[in-house]
Amino acid sequence: MAMKITDECINCDVCEPECPNGAIYMGEEIYEIDPNLCTECVGHYDEPQCVEVCPVDCIIVDPEHQETKEELMAKYERITAEKG
């Protein structure tokens, strides 16, 4: 599953630089996460880094983007191959 930033976001800017896939970006009002780039940090870390640093706990699992660990790993491999 991809992560999602809720409207409780205070735009503190700490999550964006923590994302190893560059999935977090500034939306119209709050930060957003591109589900095509979010791997929940699978392949990089044991836990989603955005969740670890968020001071207001506004980053949740996005129920609209259900993925298994295997699917997240495949996405990680695709993303790193495209960058590499």
- For residue 55, the domain's CATH number is 3.30.70.20
10-residue averages of pLDDT along the chain (84 residues)? 95 97 97 97 97 98 94 96 85
pLDDT at 1: 79
**76: domain range?**
3-83
- Number of domains present in the structure of the chain: 1
pLDDT at 84: 75
Q: What is the DSSP string of 15-63?
A: SGGG-TT--EEE-SSSEEE-TTT--TTTTT-SS-HHHHH-TT--EEE-T
